[in-house]
Amino acid sequence: MKPGQFVSRKDFRNAMLFISPWIIGTLVFKLYPILASFYYSLTEYTVINPPKFVGLKNYVELMKDDVFHKSLKNTLYMASIGTFITTVFAITYAILLSDKRLRGLSVLRALAFIPTLVPAVVIGILWIWVLQADNGVINTLLGYIGIEGPGWIADPAWAKPSFILIMLWTCGGAIIIYIAGLQEIPESLYESAEIDGAGKLRQTFSITLPLLSPVILYNVVTLLINVFQWFAEPLIMTNGGPDNETLFYSLNLYRHAFQYFKMGYASAMAWILLIISMAVIIVLFALNKRFGHNESY
Amino acid sequence: MSMSSEAAKRGQTPQRIGLGRLKTRAEIVVEYTLLIFFTVCFLIPFFWLVSESLKSPSELFEVPMLWWPRVPQWENFALMFTSFPFLKYLKNTLILVAFVILGSIISNSLVAYGFARLHWKYRDQVFLLVLVTMVLPFQVTMIPLFLLFREFGWVNTFLPLIVPHFFGNAFFIFLLRQFLLGIPFELSDAAKIDGANEFQIFLRIITPLTKPVLATIAIFAFLNTWNDFIGPLIYLSDHSKYTLALGAQQIMDDLDPKWNILMALGASMTVPVIFLFFIMQRYFIQGIAMSGIKA
């Protein structure tokens, strides 16, 4: 008998008992809400009166809702440009933090990680002051080198880039995961590349990035899910302003659900979010399968 | 990298080796400069948090800004207790934290055991479902859950913020499963031969070995709850039930947000977490690094 190969009816019963919390939790806290959300999205529901079936009216109205379009665009901006910049930075920084010729790396890693520990509410409160136009840290430092800084979150053109700065400040989790991923890449690959005369840049694109692709996929998916859910910082720092430039998808959804009490309309938004996030993730996995390096190394 | 360092690697003329070393040294200097620059960038907001929390209200608005208050206003922290219900909100937060940790440890230990240590048909397919639920945005389930808990009469209680944690968390199940798969199955088989049933093996033999991962899970559960904002915002309406995160945000809705108290509060909510990080760094980093690598 091979170890660990007791396959029996009793085993199945035991397994179901062990995972029963997850089964119940998934049915009640995931599956039911997803289905109920779809039902509510077909109704007009103000909480006070029972839901009234209206068919696809909410979806039709969403298509015509300029504020909805704006919020979707804002979130897609962060999901594309914000995620791209953050990913490039996190990988580059992880490569720097993996250079074995340097000393003190563990301290520098820890310091890159600690911003991720700051509660979202505190990030919001703090960054209002960091980004303050006339007496904030960033503009003061820019002033020292003769640059007049923008109005950041007060300026419609700079509001979303301000939030990208926060994404960069809090990307330490991704950096740590990239470092761990880099450590899995065998040193011998770089040595043979060196002998074949491949330069550092070539090595990065031909060895590091392909072998890192499963880790990149994981981090990008995590980042995207966070972008789709981004709520506390925009609510606190800008409450969607100026000119709805930072009215992100989840903030808009929250407003419709819990400030305007349009539960049906907000549920339609939730379903669209579900479809978008699933689509994005399926595309990413497909891309990874097509171009990424998945064999174990 | 160009000719010189490659030549150096192949160990050619002494003069070329000298050039290669010089190049390596230049690279190291550039790398250190970049690392120090970005480390300072990472740290400046923390310095700013502390500096602002010690300023008087008028110093906060001074132009040009003050890097450090003229006289540090330690009473900002005293005001946090007198003109803000800090202790009450701290107590509420800690109650939530305690129950969420308890629920997370119990439920995820059981569930992960079922996915890692028992063999059953379709196990790995079902586990894929666990992973899928990991990428479900909170907002997708938010409204029906709110309406459901409202039916239960749970709104304005801690229950909606505690009970779901007793039913497993995809990320924690994943972390624990990875660890459990690495424990030799001979241990379980030996216990079985000695007459132990599955639950006894789980409780007496396997779970004690998972302590490091349980510590990681406890830390993450603590962080998630300590930092959670949208949950308390939706479910807690009575001021006496607020958590620190929600209480802090609510000051900002006042006509006169007392910024000096708010900054002191921000510092007080952040410092303990960073302290915890430095004493338990191993568990933090392991948990995070593991999540990406084994995925």
Checking if the pLDDT of B67 tops 50, the result is yes
Which of A98, A129, A213, A251 best tests the B interface by mutation, with the highest count of B CBs <10 A?
A129
CA distance A90 to chain B (A): 11
Minimal-distance CA residue of chain B relative to A124: B249
Kindly list the domain boundaries of chain B, sorted by start residue: 3-75, 77-293
Total tally of structural domains belonging to chain A: 2
Domain that holds residue A27: 1-41
The amino acid that residue B150 corresponds to is R
Minimal-distance CA residue of chain B relative to A281: B135
Residue A48 lies in a domain: no
Tell me the average pLDDT of chain B.
89
Residue A281 lies in a domain: yes
Here the ipTM equals 0.89
Checking if the pLDDT of A101 tops 90, the result is no
Three-class DSSP category at A86: helix
Q: Are residues A32 and A133 in the same domain?
A: no
- Chain A partners within 8 Å of B119 (Cβ): 4-7, 11
Q: Are residues A105 and A221 in the same domain?
A: yes
- Chain B partners within 8 Å of A171 (Cβ): none
Q: Are residues A139 and A77 in the same domain?
A: yes
Nearest to A130 among B48, B140, B277 (CB): B48
Closest among B207, B183, B171, B127 to B290, alpha carbons compared: B171
Q: Are residues A77 and A29 in the same domain?
A: no
Q: Are residues A136 and A236 in the same domain?
A: yes
Phi, psi of A53 (to 5 degrees): -65, 125
pLDDT at B11: 46
What is the spatial distance between Cα B212 and Cα B127, in angstroms, rounded to a whole number? Answer: 22
Question: What are the respective helix, strand and coil percentages of chain A, to the nearest 5?
Answer: 70, 0, 25
Q: Are residues A134 and A221 in the same domain?
A: yes
Per-residue model confidence as pLDDT tens digits over A154-194: 999 999 999 999 999 999 999 999 999 999 899 899 989 98
Whether residue A7 and residue B120 make contact (CB cut-off 8 A), yes or no, is yes
Q: What residues contact residue B213 under an 8 Å CB cut-off, 6+ apart?
A: B175, B176, B179, B287
Checking if the pLDDT of B149 tops 60, the result is yes
CB-based contact, B93 to chain A, within 8 Å: no
CB-based contact, B292 to chain A, within 8 Å: yes
Residue A47 lies in a domain: no
Whether residue B230 and residue A232 make contact (CB cut-off 8 A), yes or no, is yes
Cβ neighbours, 10 Å, residue A156: 14
Question: Chain B 20-79, CB below 8 Å of chain A: which residues?
Answer: 24, 28, 31-32, 34-35, 38-39, 41-46, 48-49, 52, 60-65
Nearest to A108 among B39, B52, B121 (CB): B39
Tell me the average pLDDT of chain A.
91
pLDDT at B6: 47
pLDDT confidence of B269, banded at 50, 70, 90?
Answer: very high
Residue A49 lies in a domain: no
Residue A224 lies in a domain: yes
The amino acid that residue B139 corresponds to is Q
Residue A131 lies in a domain: yes
pLDDT at B229: 96
Q: What residues contact residue B244 under an 8 Å CB cut-off, 6+ apart?
A: B86, B89, B90, B92, B93, B226, B265, B269
Q: Are residues A31 and A95 in the same domain?
A: no
Q: Class for domain B77-293, per CATH?
A: mainly alpha
pLDDT confidence of B23, banded at 50, 70, 90?
Answer: confident
Residue A95 lies in a domain: yes
Q: Provide the CATH number for the domain around residue A248.
A: 1.10.3720.10
Is-cis flag, bond preceding B64, omega within 30?
A: yes
Residue A229 lies in a domain: yes
CB-based contact, B81 to chain A, within 8 Å: no
Per-residue model confidence as pLDDT tens digits over B103-134: 999 999 999 999 999 999 899 999 999 988 88
Per-residue model confidence as pLDDT tens digits over B241-265: 999 999 999 888 777 788 999 999 9
